[in-house]
Amino acid sequence: MKEIDWANLSFGYMKTDYNVRCYYRDGKWGEIEVCSEETLNIHMAATCLHYGQEAFEGLKAYRCPDGKVRVFRMDENAKRLQSTCRGILMPELTTERFEEMVKKVVRLNERFIPPYESGATLYIRPLLIGTGAQVGVHPANEYLFVIFVTPVGPYFKGGFATNPYVIIREFDRSAPLGTGIYKVGGNYAASLKANKMAHDLGYSCEFYLDAKEKKYIDECGAANFFGIKNNTYVTPKSTSILPSITNKSLMQLAEDMGMTVERRQIPEEELATFEEAGACGTAAVISPIERIDDLENKKSYIISKDGKPGPVCTQLYHHLRNIQYGIEPDVHGWTTVVMD
């Protein structure tokens, strides 16, 4: 195998040795299978291809300074996948089966887990698809659950640095009673055009307001938003955004630091009052926000006056990463050692 340049990995796909698979047939899940093929052989009338019966998750394995390999809150990914399954009528995997498959695929691809010093991680992508053939709009009777892994560098090239965002009103990523609370591919397809618009305008990402009234903050691209002011961590309460495991963890850490945590509607004009703000998710952990431009109303909400990440974002970022890497005590029992 040619040497991997760990320090310069992109957030992209690299072939690894194995993936793990499990098939749902005749009303039950089968045995876990190990596969070295990168492709899936599925029916052309599979429901995942026509009616969007597919769900995915994203989590990471970290090679830590103590030599161990840890995974962060995989039970929460299992629960979120179960919630998505209930939402789009797919059979649920048990948390135990999900965790067993995550551990197995990480161990099988141990040589692709980047060294601690590199800043890179092993990204883990569980995928559940409807494989049964249907021409009518109905749930499939057969499904495939697969987990593959790939080593990745930081999501944002600049690492932990502030980024500019732009409010896009012409598109909604999801609707209040739609699939926004589930991790389905359709939500990401719905964001591609707005994301391209934001990039073409020179912004890091697009910023969505609520689909119903266009008054309240919803999401930063595919990431959750949070703002900091008066020793308070504020994040949107909305029925159209994905419950982020990173955001859930940051809320707990903010409380641990003595901050007040508020989950509520955030009117757009409140952006002017935040001392700090960030977008959070598995890929970047926290992407601090420099400013949010509202081009239609010729407004710019400058959040970072000096263009640097603020002290609370910085503290939260390092605290969470240090837990993930086994450097700071894991008082909430979030990490699982998958390899000693």
Active site residues: 183
- Non-local CB neighbours of 139 within 8 Å, separated by 6+ positions: 47, 53, 88, 89, 90, 130
- Determine the distance from the C-alpha atom of residue 26 to the mean position of all C-alpha atoms in its chain, rounded to a whole number: 32
Q: Which two three-digit tokens encode residue 264?
A: 């509520």
Q: Counting runs of H as helices and runs of E as strands, what totals does the chain give? A: 7, 18
Biggest alpha carbon distance in the chain?
60
**H or E element at residue 320:** helix 311-324
Q: Are 240 and 181 in contact (CB under 8 A)?
A: yes
* Residue 288 amino acid letter: P
Other Cβ atoms closer than 10 A to 215: 12
- Non-local CB neighbours of 47 within 8 Å, separated by 6+ positions: 53, 130, 131, 132, 134, 138, 139, 140
- Site of tokens 């963890």: 249
Of the candidates 261, 262, 219, 259, which has an alpha carbon nearest to the alpha carbon of residue 243? 219
